[in-house]
């Protein structure tokens, strides 16, 4: 597998765990900026019977002290509840989660990805939270719409989101300095497919041997689905039983990736990434790649690198996912829950005292400023709750913050189905050949649709 094959669907927050936390966290913990959040704070109760809940999570590395602070804040609010944080390793995490439930000894609260949550719901292993949200009159309008919709499955809501399900497949980074040097307006990044192709033509440079020395934009298999949605397409039928990505909208999105690959010389692009993209975002941050489609975590790498090197903070910009300007129904549309999407679930049939404690912890962690607000702020990442992102401290190191928030509003939720990963990989696996310009886009799309439909048919046959 070529070195540049970094599939965004498999990326995870821990790959950035060695990076130091932003100094913003100290400001937050000191209480200076809490006035930005208007969430009500409940008075602590002290008359309940003590209860301890286990909490499996992947908030490791530099996030551990922040999570410890959050747990401390929670315990002050609910002194009868003790949260036992159990940070997990990253090897075979899906198997580990499912094995814990199969053994009959799952944690009281599990941090899980969207695909695992729907799989556990399908197994009847976890309880929905629809009734608890209604009981507590929790206003779900505090979240960006796609954040909540991403965790609805089979008529129920199973989790609340943290970190964001949005802000991963709704924008791209671009190098403002390289745009200016190429005669492109750095304040007007490409909004359409045609404009993106023209930008790639102007931004790509080759050396005397014909190898790419500076790349405009990569042809990436991971971008097929965002391009599909930004062409007014859909991945599955509304009943989730049929593949829908192989229609005209999908064919046009596949052709767009093929057009980029052809411009880049197919294998020349692979050669470029093996040479310059030695770590996530390296080619972009080192001035070799002008446009980068990546997830929100890379934004923090870019900011931290600028601070460390003394580079101007505004050297980079954000653009929205480009849309097909030849389709009057198309518009820039983000896809939530495609690359990632973490939530928090509790097993079915917990004793009442543990269930209530687990729910209070989930609710605090995802909706309280001293829960999810603190955890996201400490990492400089956007929160699923709109109000948390209005903290003015975010904008001090991120000149593109407001544009990122606008991108999050464009998202729609990717279909919730337990075999989501298999379906997405069916597309990505086939489109590597398109990115290398070695297979026609129509052929790759047809075979991807066949593979995905076979997986769907097998899944629904088991559900009967």
Q: Given phi > 0 = left and psi -120 to 50 = alpha, else beta, which region is 92?
A: left
CA neighbor of 434 nearest in space, from 251, 262, 292, 274: 262
Token pair in block for residue 70: 């959050």
Residue spans of beta strands (DSSP E) within 181-323 = 205-206, 212-217, 289-292, 316-320
Residue 313 CA to residue 304 CA, distance in Å, equals 10
Cβ contacts of 29 within 8 Å, gap of 6 or more: 69, 374
- Say which DSSP state 92 is in: T
At 152 the three-state DSSP class reads: strand
Task: Kindly report the CATH number that applies to the domain delimited by 8-167+343-386+393-413.
Answer: 3.40.190.10
> Any idea what the Cα angle at residue 145 is, between residues 144 and 146, rounded to 5°?
95
Of the candidates 14, 2, 63, 20, the one whose C-alpha atom is nearest the C-alpha of residue 340 is 14
**Start-end ranges of CATH 3.40.190.10 in the chain?**
8-167+343-386+393-413, 171-333+419-463
Cβ atoms 228, 245 nearer than 8 A = yes
d(CA 105, CA 92): 18
Q: Of all helices (H) and strands (E), which one includes residue 147?
A: helix 145-149
Domain 171-333+419-463: which CATH number of 3.30.1360.30, 3.40.50.720, 3.40.190.10, 3.40.390.10: 3.40.190.10
C-beta separation of 316 from 307 below 8 A: no
Distances (CA, A) of 178 to 174, 182, 211, 304, 315: 8, 6, 19, 20, 9
Burial class (CB in 10 A: 0-12, 13-18, 19+), 225: buried
* Cis before 163 (ω within 30): yes
Beta partners for residue 54, in sequence order: 84
Per-residue pLDDT of the chain (464 residues; tens, 9 = 90+): 332 332 333 334 433 333 444 444 544 444 434 444 444 445 455 568 999 999 999 999 989 999 999 999 999 999 999 999 999 999 988 899 989 998 889 999 999 999 899 999 999 999 999 999 999 999 999 999 999 999 999 999 999 999 999 999 999 999 999 999 999 999 999 999 999 999 999 999 999 999 999 999 999 999 999 999 999 999 999 999 999 999 999 999 999 999 999 999 988 888 888 888 878 889 999 999 999 999 898 998 899 899 999 999 999 999 999 999 999 999 999 999 986 789 999 999 999 999 999 999 999 999 999 999 999 999 889 999 999 999 999 998 899 999 999 999 999 999 999 999 999 999 999 999 999 889 999 999 999 999 999 999 999 999 86
């Amino acid at each position: 597998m070529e070195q540049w094959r970094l599939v965004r669907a498999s990326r995870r927050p821990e790959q950035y765990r060695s990076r130091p936390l932003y100094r913003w966290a100290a400001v937050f913990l000191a209480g200076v900026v809490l006035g930005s959040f208007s969430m009500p704070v409940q008075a602590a109760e002290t008359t309940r019977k003590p209860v301890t809940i286990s909490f499996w999570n992947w908030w490791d590395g530099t996030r551990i002290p922040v999570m410890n602070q959050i747990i401390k804040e929670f315990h002050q609010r609910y002194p009868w509840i003790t949260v036992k944080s159990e940070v997990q390793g990253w090897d075979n995490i899906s198997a580990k989660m499912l094995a814990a439930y199969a053994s009959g000894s799952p944690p009281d609260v599990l941090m899980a990805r969207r695909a695992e949550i729907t799989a556990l719901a399908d197994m009847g292993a976890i309880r929905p939270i629809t009734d608890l949200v209604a009981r507590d009159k929790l206003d779900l309008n505090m979240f960006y719409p796609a954040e909540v919709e991403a965790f609805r499955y089979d008529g129920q809501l199973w989790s609340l989101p943290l970190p964001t399900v949005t802000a991963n497949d709704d924008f791209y980074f671009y190098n403002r300095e390289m745009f200016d040097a190429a005669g492109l307006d750095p304040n007007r990044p490409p909004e359409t497919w045609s404009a993106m192709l023209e930008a790639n033509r102007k931004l790509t440079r080759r050396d005397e041997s014909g190898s790419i020395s500076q790349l405009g934009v990569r042809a990436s298999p991971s971008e097929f689905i965002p391009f599909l949605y930004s062409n007014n397409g859909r991945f599955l039928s509304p009943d989730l039983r049929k593949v829908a990505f192989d229609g005209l909208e999908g064919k046009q999105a596949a052709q767009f990736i093929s057009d980029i690959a052809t411009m880049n010389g197919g294998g020349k692009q692979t050669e470029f990434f093996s040479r310059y993209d030695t770590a996530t975002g390296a080619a972009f941050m080192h001035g070799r790649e002008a446009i980068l489609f990546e997830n929100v975590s890379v934004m923090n790498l870019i900011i931290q690198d600028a601070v460390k090197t003394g580079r101007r903070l505004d050297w980079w910009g954000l653009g929205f996912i480009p849309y097909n300007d030849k389709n009057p129904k198309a518009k820039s549309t983000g896809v939530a829950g495609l690359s990632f999407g973490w939530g928090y679930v509790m097993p079915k049939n917990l004793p009442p005292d543990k269930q209530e404690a687990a729910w209070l912890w989930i609710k605090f962690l995802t909706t309280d400023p001293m829960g999810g607000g603190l955890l996201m702020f400490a990492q400089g990442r956007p929160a699923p709750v709109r109000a948390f992102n209005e903290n003015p401290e975010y904008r001090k190191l991120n000149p593109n913050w407001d544009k990122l928030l606008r991108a999050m509003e464009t998202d729609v939720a990717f279909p919730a189905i337990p075999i989501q990963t298999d379906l997405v990989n069916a597309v990505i696996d086939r489109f590597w050949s398109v990115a290398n310009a070695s297979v026609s886009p129509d052929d790759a799309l047809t075979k991807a649709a066949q593979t995905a439909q076979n997986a769907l048919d097998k899944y629904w046959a088991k559900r009967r």
